[in-house]
Structure 1
Amino acid sequence: MDRLDLRSFVDRIRVLVDASPPTSFLETRSWLVDPLLEALGWDVHADSCFTDTTIADARLEYVLGVDSTPALFVAVEAYPDDLDVERARRLQKAMARTGVDRTLYTNGRQLVLVDGADDADHLTCPLTSIADREDDLAPVSRTATSRRLEGETGELAARRIAVRRSDLEASIVDDLTAIAGDRYDDVCRVSTERFLDHLVVSLVDSPPAIDGSTSADGSPAADGQETVLEFADPSTVDREGDAASDPAADRSAGDADEGEEYVVRFFNERGSIGAIGHAQSDAALVHAVEFLFDRGLSGLDVPFRSDDDEGTVLNDEPVCADGSPMESPRELSNGLYLDAGGDSTDRADRILALVERAGLRAMLTGAWSGQTR
């Protein structure tokens, strides 16, 4: 890609749009988006490109790759339509779940470049001004992308699996169910999900430990060392309403035996992104939810309920949706209130519901019952 490629592209589309702007999605895609990708050095007809697919609930017109490694997501709206904030959120979720770190989103009028290496690194500009943004667009050119993906690493292998995970999972489950029988479909599905989780962990260059492989802000540890997220000291947790003073109540709340913690390990589709642990299940719930908000959980309408929980999980006041007080409200750092009541199974269900809402996966180990989603 050079400045002449972009300048020539901009000159052509200005003439086209001035004469007869696209009126449909197909015209936008063929008249504007395909030529844009060509100017950036991509061949939308190459074997490494697949089209019109959905990944992690995000609809994609193109997944462009270098050889067999997915490298760039492209999403398109019709020229007359505005860009969709909700779709943009889903695109970011798909990036987080797969490790594909660049996305272009355009309606032929505005162009948004999302750089997954930094959640705040977004470029938004009129499509007709991109010739002046060469430095910003250079990272998504075919040439620069090829350089970035040179060599073979476990992380790139994990990315390839992540992008095709739905197909892989369905195929494996079908094969296993055909042998085991339909009544074991759920068991085969859960086992396959766990297998793929462990597979992508084993493929990354720096396998994470159960106590976390991310920095305190949730980003990967820069030097490859494992940064521990420690939440095991009961003195650091608001224990109001906790049953610690009553051993019988401790047992009914599902607290861990001495020396065993409630551990939640979090995954995106590339592997583990961190973990929390605590000797008490209510505190583990609080820390898990704080971790999810730190990792970008957003868009929740309060009061929030999980599908499996009739009660209110989160609200902006310490009350349930029906106005009754929460059983065990805990105020989070963002000002929302979390109901930490119930037993360990109830708390596990709330964690898993919020993990799913965040577009992540979790494995609950230690004193939990080994639930995963």
Structure 2
Amino acid sequence: MTDNEESMTGTDMREYVERAHTAVTESDDLSLRNTELRLVQPFLEALGWDVRLPEVEADVNVPDRDPVDYALRVDDRPAVFVDVVPCEDSLREADIDRLEVGMTAGGVDWGILTNGRSFVFLARNGDDVERLECRLDRFPSHEDAVSMYTKAAVESRRPAADRRIAAERIAKRREAVAETLTETLVAAADGAATDEIAAIVDGFVDDLLVALGPDDAAVNDGGAARPSKATAGNSADSTDGDPAATGRKDASPGDDGPTGSSPGDGRSASSATTEGGEYVVRVFDGRTSVGAVGTEDPVGAMANAIELLLDRYALDSRLTLPWRPDASDEKGRAVLARTPVHPNGTEMRSHRRLSNGYCLLATLDASSAKAVVRELAGQSGLRVMFQGDW
């Protein structure tokens, strides 16, 4: 990595801020062109982009709007759009909307709008566009967010962006892709097991799209990768926080053993308290991904998945509490209950309290947690996929 490709450090930011303040106070004319020359291009250089090379392109044409002022390119494709407003003007909501339109039309996930004094950093997250509004003098307080627009950071994200583009293109032709694959395999099998092959191919295409697609922000974004959502319409800082991952630490195990299709089978619950892993649950309504949750432990992922089913799909209206996977077992231990008590009257010694007050058994191993999530999702007419360390 060359010096020009290193991330923008706090020292770099402070030096740039000092130079920019000097340019603002000592310049008699900060028209659009002078704003670009004295404030914006030096900012791009501070981020590691060489404005003299083709990696920075000016006046980029995109459909449905005027040209974008700059495109920062990686592998000869635009990765960040930059729009500039004269220094003497304020940033308006309409300017932000125009940049969002350009990002969508150009297939770009990252954008910057600036007048040299204030900045709006945009990042697409699925169907949403998150934003961070930041004054020039507040740059050092937002080092992590601003550094996501350095050349080095953008280059490191290119493989993920390529996967997302591939997923979007395949998804648009999903039925034709599945049909072609099925026809090829059925022909190779001389017509045997046609229905089984079609079902397997259908699942394979779904799994492929999930594997190629972007991670859900709730899974493992960690808060540093994207600017946080803020209210637009002013040039002051609107937020100092970033979205955090939804992980929760597991409760301490008690005497309740692991639960699966055969409660009380005595399997070890050690995996229920494993930390430092990644346990992800993705939820699908038919072929459409409708959510994803994840934590460092299987019980946490199970709890978050059940919260999603309760919040979005009224799971509680389909359950009789206390609930257990094998409802025919009168003496089975409860997995989900209104109070931390099993049907036989014994205490649920280790449990997790959900947001609606329900008590969730917290001593399940990974296999049992998967069985619980799969069954509860099925009761909501959904299916799930497990990724990570399951």
Q: By the TM > 0.5 criterion, same fold? A: no
What TM-score range do you get, normalising by the shorter chain?
A: 0.3 to 0.5
Q: Max radius of gyration: which structure?
A: 2
TM-score, length of structure 1 as denominator length: 0.43
